[in-house]
Amino acid sequence: MSIFKDSIDYDKVKIHHGRFIPIFQPSQTAMTPFGTIHFPDDIYEEDYTSPSRVFPDVISSKNLFVHEMAHVWQYQLGYSTFLNGIIIALKGGYFGNRNYIHHDGYPVANAYEYLSKVQSNQDLSDFNMEQQGSIIADYFIDTTNNHTSPSPHPYTKGMPLIDSILKEFKNNPSNKQLLPRDNHA
């Protein structure tokens, strides 16, 4: 996956068909603790690069996959996605108000929302692990689909800032300084 360059050891990436935590993991939620992606039955696909029974379009499918690969990237660089996911959950970041509407029209938890937080002079480490996954995935989709997604990404109006935030990531995704500095929800 070109966006991560050689910062991920792809031979170590495992995709698991099933939930990581059967009782607590919602059926529409992927989890990537310890560098393994867990897709519950409801969202598991053999190929995340083509439209399918689960996703209305290839954009949504690719976005989810790249978002989860961002967690693989974080984990392989030494960030504890499991522990930090628990911290975000304890702060309520995965629950409660779902004020953020993703580009595919679905509301998502506040832990993923980054649009209102984007400012000049920020870098990727200023965002929590879920926001990083969303920023990287949205940027990947926007730059690889030539703005042809069914509905325009809401963040494209802030593309110069996103481009600036990802400058070092695009240059050297192996830089551990890019990992989240905070677990804000």
pLDDT tens, residue by residue, 4-63: 999 999 999 999 999 998 888 888 889 999 999 999 988 888 888 776 666 666 667 888
Q: How many CB atoms lie within 10 A of CB 161?
A: 16
Its pTM stands at: 0.88
Q: Place 100 in a pLDDT band, splitting at 50, 70 and 90.
A: low
- At 182, give phi and psi (nearest 5°): -140, 160
Q: How many CB atoms lie within 10 A of CB 39?
A: 23
Between 183 and 60, name the one with better pLDDT. 60
Q: Where are the beta strands (DSSP E) in 40-179?
A: 100-101, 107-108
User: 120-161 pLDDT, tens per residue?
Assistant: 789 999 999 999 999 999 888 888 865 444 445 554 556 678
Using CA atoms, how far residue 180 sits from 14, 73, 128, in Å, is: 23, 12, 5
